[in-house]
């Protein structure tokens, strides 16, 4: 197939606290729903922050072939989220992959060549299942409630299932997804915190553009709804501790009321495809990816740079790659953790590029709706921005203020706003490590 | 015009030493870096030995700059040590002409070592009742202890992209900074992807490689439960036996390797010493099973084939293969099969060795250290041996350069890395000819 190097978005699959599946998610976003609640997965009353964004319940067997049910036993929550997202993404794209065929939902043959089907999935520092690990460790207790490493090595460790480690290797998200959907082309796993999904999507875009694959499934997934995953951001001072009674108030992106963020689980996978491949199978095209750029905070690996220089470089690189000036951008989508120092750095980074005009460009942020989904955050944002562009609709941004001295961005307040969008710019930034990445999406035109 | 990518600097921190030349000398001398584990008391573990990095000091590597990186994990420290040495090797410590926005980082950085003692303390607090009897986890009791025992810096350093953050600060590298963690294939993948970034034009110079230490109680537990590790506790020096019939698993190692990748013209303009060119890279997924490699080596063959295709060469052009060669029954058999299938007649002629026989398996950092040895093999026309090779295995019937280094012309070398979960990556390097 001769390639123009053009890459389009043909499928969106999301698993978020405000909805699973892109349509459910989009409607919830338009209705300003919030997915943060008191934690139900475990008793959170010992934790300083007791709220999080949990997914609506689902049954994994609805998303995998019957023959794969045994393997589901070695999936951590992060892997499950990726597998669910993958199913929604390929179905939304009309891709009849091995999974879809094995489930009897489409006839053979597959409409994608496995050897030209790649994966690039962002993953987090996957937390061990705490009841399982803590329970096993405690079998190595000796007198005086002491832990004995000798006892652990000798017998305690056998209380962990032999395949225990395989639940927590970050590349097992891509491993399960590529097996279930039979994607054998270039594969990668990006572990750059909240920037992971943007990097994974950007890399997949380049993989297809240079001709190494026709189709890629890409994005990211993570669960931070785990006692250990909630202790960490608390130790770093990131969590809002004042909203246990009012979870809907936990995250206020770029708002003077901001007081920290909230942990969540979720993510998404999207289908990118060469234009030729998409055309040949008459796929619905949401948008075209036309730019990818990255930059890094060199001030610190653990604190934001108040001037947001790595962030602004990533935005600038993405626009240069797309061959457009900031003036051409019709929609901006910052990450917006709700942590004061990070939001300030991000606002500075965007303002560095857009200047005073930033307050005039329509903007959107999803963080108050879905929380901090770690490596999955960017895929949720990317899908939301793609939907906004596809529908020429800017969704309202929950818990933000209108433009003015208090906020650098122009967020829609109560209702969706009709707005012609040709170019949108979406970005993600790692809270630890300093990595930033940005993507430029364009309305699809022949 | 196509942008070519060359290696202009190399550095490593490994169980066989903290600088490239020492490590190379010891590899050629068939020296072994494996010994009883000292990082924790592993005496009752199924595997009580490992290949540790000995007497490492960040202060020695970085001087006064070490203070900037206070609290750095073992991973981040190894990465800094290897990178500083690669940076100097590339002559960048005295070169003032770099555009920092065109300098990036791409590591295969592992998760930082788990902080085990607080982890165990909180577990016991949550799972033992007042009488000291086991009970299902009480998260309230767990949290009560967890809030007191975990340390913010140690937890933060576990993020896999943290090492890359340290390097960005150390070298003012403002460009793309990515981290991949495709298990044992991570640093090979990082270098291949970093090459793509330079070729595309997003950077002129990339600091790439990997860093990892899983020599901690939970790391060894994980691999022991998988029965992936050798358990020859009474003869650890000969425990790592890639391709030998009596092999019983790999030996866990730790360390870091960093290569400076540079666009060819950029390197020439600044008069850099060009060590080798990366001419090919292939990455594939087995898409087969979570626990097993595809029986016919499908993904490994496809990765090597993609690397050959992108290099524009054929299998017969390859003189040396740095094998993934872990010393597990399955890997060595299928890697051999894959090479045999892809290389045909030439399979018997190509020299293949596994340095994991001498320094263990550096997991995410393994691939880059192996690539460094490929570059040195080309430079010196000598290939390192596979030590502990005594018993031929009918399933492993190729030339593994047994036990002694071999002088031979090496123009083109291929380095394989295969990760758990069916991740396959291959890189091809060549000496600079024009």
In this prediction, residue A407 carries a pLDDT of 83
Per-residue pLDDT tens over the stretch B204-243: 999 999 999 999 999 999 999 999 999 999 999 999 999 9
Stretch A5-26: mean pLDDT: 98
Using CB atoms, which residue from A47, A165, A430 is nearest to B143?
A47
Q: Are residues A56 and A137 in the same domain?
A: no
> Is residue A3 a part of any domain in this protein?
no
**A244 vs A250: CA distance, rounded Å:** 8
In this prediction, residue B179 carries a pLDDT of 98
Per-residue pLDDT tens over the stretch A315-329: 999 999 999 999 999
Is the complex ipTM higher than 0.95? yes
Average pLDDT, chain A: 97
Q: Are residues A274 and A357 in the same domain?
A: no
Stretch A422-433: mean pLDDT: 98
Q: Are residues A216 and A326 in the same domain?
A: no
Q: Are residues A362 and A426 in the same domain?
A: yes
Please report the domains of chain B, with CATH numbers, ordered by start residue. Answer: 5-114+155-430 (3.40.47.10), 116-150 (no CATH)
A133: number of CA atoms within 13 Å, CB side?
Answer: 26
Average pLDDT, chain B: 97
Per-residue pLDDT tens over the stretch A363-398: 999 999 999 999 999 999 999 999 999 999 999 999
- Kindly provide the b/e burial profile for residues A142-178, where b requires at least 16 CB atoms within 10 angstroms of the residue's own CB: eeeeebebebbbeebbebbeeebbbbbbbbbbbbbbb
Per-residue pLDDT tens over the stretch A286-299: 999 999 999 999 99
Using CB atoms, which residue from A131, A140, A183 is nearest to B137?
A131
In this prediction, residue A446 carries a pLDDT of 87
Given an 8 Å threshold on Cβ–Cβ distance, is B181 in contact with A163? no
Which spans in A94-226 are helix H?
A: 98-102, 130-138, 149-154, 172-181, 196-209
Q: Are residues A270 and A364 in the same domain?
A: no
How many Å lie between the alpha carbon of B93 and the closest alpha carbon of chain A?
Answer: 17
In this prediction, residue B433 carries a pLDDT of 72
Q: Are residues A273 and A344 in the same domain?
A: no
Whether B149 contacts chain A with CB within 8 A: no
Given an 8 Å threshold on Cβ–Cβ distance, is B176 in contact with A190? no
How many Å lie between the alpha carbon of B164 and the closest alpha carbon of chain A?
Answer: 7
| Catalytic annotation, residues of B | 184, 324, 361
How many Å lie between the alpha carbon of A74 and the closest alpha carbon of chain B?
Answer: 9
**Residues spanned by the domain of A146:** 130-159
**B181 vs B190: CA distance, rounded Å:** 9
8 Å CB contact between B356 and B418? no
Confidence of residue B149 (pLDDT cuts 50, 70, 90): very high
Q: How many domains does chain A have?
A: 3
Using CB atoms, which residue from A154, A187, A190 is nearest to B44?
A154
At residue B424, what are phi and psi to the nearest 5 degrees? -120, 135
Using CB atoms, which residue from B111, B128, B172 is nearest to A145?
B128
Whether B287 contacts chain A with CB within 8 A: yes
| CATH number of the domain bearing residue A110 | 3.40.47.10
> Is residue A183 a part of any domain in this protein?
yes
Confidence of residue A2 (pLDDT cuts 50, 70, 90): low
Per-residue pLDDT tens over the stretch A62-85: 999 999 999 999 999 999 999 999
- Pairing relationship of beta strands A117-123 and A215-223 according to DSSP bridges: parallel
Q: Are residues A271 and A388 in the same domain?
A: no
The pLDDT of residue B42 is above 90 = yes
8 Å CB contact between A224 and A373? yes
How many Å lie between the alpha carbon of B349 and the closest alpha carbon of chain A?
Answer: 29
The pLDDT of residue A301 is above 60 = yes
Strands annotated E in A275-392: 287-296, 331-333, 362-363
Q: Are residues A205 and A221 in the same domain?
A: yes
Mutation target among A141, A298, A352 for the B interface, most CBs of B within 10 A: A298
Given an 8 Å threshold on Cβ–Cβ distance, is B221 in contact with A157? yes
Q: Nearest CA to A317 among A292, A334, A353?
A: A292
Q: Are residues A112 and A178 in the same domain?
A: yes
Chain A residues in contact with B421 (beta carbon < 8 A) = 166, 169, 171-172, 174-175
The tokens describing B79, both together, are 């990465």
Q: Are residues A234 and A106 in the same domain?
A: yes
In this prediction, residue A403 carries a pLDDT of 80
The pLDDT of residue A1 is above 50 = no
8 Å CB contact between B125 and B141? yes
In this prediction, residue A132 carries a pLDDT of 96
Q: 151-180 in B: which are within 8 Å (CB) of A?
A: 151-152, 155-156, 158-162, 164-166, 168-169, 172-180
In this prediction, residue A413 carries a pLDDT of 94
Per-residue pLDDT tens over the stretch B168-203: 999 999 999 999 999 999 999 999 999 999 999 999
Q: Are residues A258 and A294 in the same domain?
A: no
Q: Nearest CA to A402 among A255, A214, A218?
A: A255
Q: Are residues A304 and A379 in the same domain?
A: yes
């Amino acid at each position: 197939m001769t390639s123009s190097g053009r890459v389009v978005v043909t499928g969106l699959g999301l698993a978020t606290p405000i909805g699973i599946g892109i349509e459910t998610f989009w409607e919830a976003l338009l209705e300003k729903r919030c997915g943060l609640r008191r934690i139900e997965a475990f008793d959170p009353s010992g934790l300083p922050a007791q709220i999080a964004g949990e997914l609506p319940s689902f049954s994994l067997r609805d998303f995998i072939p019957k023959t794969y049910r045994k393997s589901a036993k070695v999936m951590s929550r992060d892997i499950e989220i990726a597998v669910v997202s993958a199913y929604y993404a390929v179905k939304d794209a009309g891709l009849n992959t091995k999974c879809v065929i094995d489930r009897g939902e489409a006839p053979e043959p597959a409409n994608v060549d496995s050897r030209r089907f790649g994966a690039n999935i962002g993953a987090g520092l996957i937390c061990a299942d705490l009841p399982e690990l803590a329970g096993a460790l405690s079998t190595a207790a000796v007198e005086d409630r002491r832990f004995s490493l000798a006892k652990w090595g000798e017998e305690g460790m056998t209380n962990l299932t032999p395949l225990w480690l395989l639940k927590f290797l970050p590349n097992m998200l891509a491993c399960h997804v590529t097996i279930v959907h039979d994607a054998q082309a270039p594969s990668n796993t990006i572990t750059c915190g909240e920037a992971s999904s943007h990097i994974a999507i950007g890399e997949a875009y380049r993989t297809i553009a240079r001709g190494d694959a026709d189709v890629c499934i890409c994005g990211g997934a993570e669960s931070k709804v785990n006692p250990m995953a909630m202790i960490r951001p608390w130790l770093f001072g990131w969590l809002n501790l004042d909203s246990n009674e009012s979870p809907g108030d936990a995250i206020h992106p770029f708002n003077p009321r901001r007081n920290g963020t909230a942990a969540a689980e979720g993510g998404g996978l999207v289908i990118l495809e060469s234009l030729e491949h998409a055309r040949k199978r008459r796929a619905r095209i949401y948008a075209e990816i036309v730019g990818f750029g990255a930059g890094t905070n060199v001030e610190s690996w653990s604190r934001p740079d108040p001037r947001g220089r790595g962030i602004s470089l990533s935005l600038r690189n993405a626009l240069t790659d797309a061959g457009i000036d900031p003036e051409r951008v019709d929609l901006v989508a910052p990450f917006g953790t709700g942590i004061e120092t990070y939001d300030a750095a991000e606002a500075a980074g965007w303002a560095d590029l857009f200047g005073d005009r930033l307050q005039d460009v329509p903007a959107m942020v999803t963080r108050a709706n879905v929380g901090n989904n770690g490596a999955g955050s960017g895929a949720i944002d990317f899908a939301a921005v793609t939907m906004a562009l596809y529908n020429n609709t800017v969704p309202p941004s929950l818990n933000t203020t209108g433009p003015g001295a208090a906020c650098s961005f122009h967020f829609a307040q109560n209702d969706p706003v009709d707005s012609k969008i040709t170019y949108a710019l979406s970005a993600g930034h790692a809270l630890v490590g300093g990595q930033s990445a940005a993507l430029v999406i364009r309305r699809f035109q022949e | 015009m196509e942008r070519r990518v060359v290696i202009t600097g190399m550095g490593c921190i490994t169980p066989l030493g903290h600088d490239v030349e020492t490590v190379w000398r010891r590899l050629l001398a068939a020296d072994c870096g494996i010994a009883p584990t000292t990082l924790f008391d592993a005496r009752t573990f199924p595997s009580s030995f490992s290949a540790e990095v000995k007497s490492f000091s960040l202060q020695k590597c970085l001087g006064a700059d070490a203070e900037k990186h206070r609290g750095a994990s073992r991973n981040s420290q190894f990465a800094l040590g290897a990178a500083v040495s690669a940076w100097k090797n590339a002559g960048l410590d005295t070169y003032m002409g770099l555009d920092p926005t065109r300098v990036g980082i791409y590591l295969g950085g592992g998760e930082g070592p788990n902080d085990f003692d607080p982890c165990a303390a909180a577990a016991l607090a949550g799972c033992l009742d007042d009488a000291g009897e086991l009970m299902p986890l009480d998260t309230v009791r767990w949290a009560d202890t967890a809030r007191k025992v975990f340390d913010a810096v140690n937890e933060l350093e576990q993020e896999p992209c943290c090492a890359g953050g340290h390097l960005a600060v150390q070298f003012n590298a403002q460009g793309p900074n990515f981290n991949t963690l495709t298990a044992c294939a991570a640093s090979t993948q990082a270098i291949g992807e970093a090459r793509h970034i330079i070729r595309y034009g997003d950077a002129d110079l990339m600091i790439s490689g990997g860093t990892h230490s899983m020599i901690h109680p939970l790391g060894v537990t994980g691999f022991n439960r998988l029965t992936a590790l050798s358990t020859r506790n009474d003869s650890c020096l000969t425990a790592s036996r890639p391709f030998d019939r009596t092999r019983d698993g790999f030996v866990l190692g730790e360390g870091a390797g960093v290569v400076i990748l540079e666009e060819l013209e950029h390197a020439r303009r600044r008069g850099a010493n060009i060590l080798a060119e990366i001419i090919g890279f292939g990455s594939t997924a087995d898409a087969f099973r979570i626990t097993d490699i595809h029986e016919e080596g499908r993904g490994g063959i496809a990765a090597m084939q993609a690397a050959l295709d992108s290099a524009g060469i054929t299998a017969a052009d390859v003189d040396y293969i740095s094998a993934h060669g872990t010393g597990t029954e399955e890997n060595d058999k299928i890697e051999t099969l894959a090479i045999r299938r892809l290389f045909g007649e030439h399979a018997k002629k190509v020299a293949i060795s596994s340095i994991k026989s001498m320094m263990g398996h550096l997991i995410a950092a393994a691939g880059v250290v192996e690539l460094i040895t490929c570059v040195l093999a080309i430079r010196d026309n000598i290939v390192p041996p596979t030590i502990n090779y005594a018993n031929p295995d009918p399933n492993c019937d190729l030339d593994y350069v047994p036990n002694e280094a071999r002088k031979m012309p090496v123009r083109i070398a291929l380095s394989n890395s295969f990760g758990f979960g069916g991740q396959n990556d291959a890189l091809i390097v060549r000496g600079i000819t024009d």
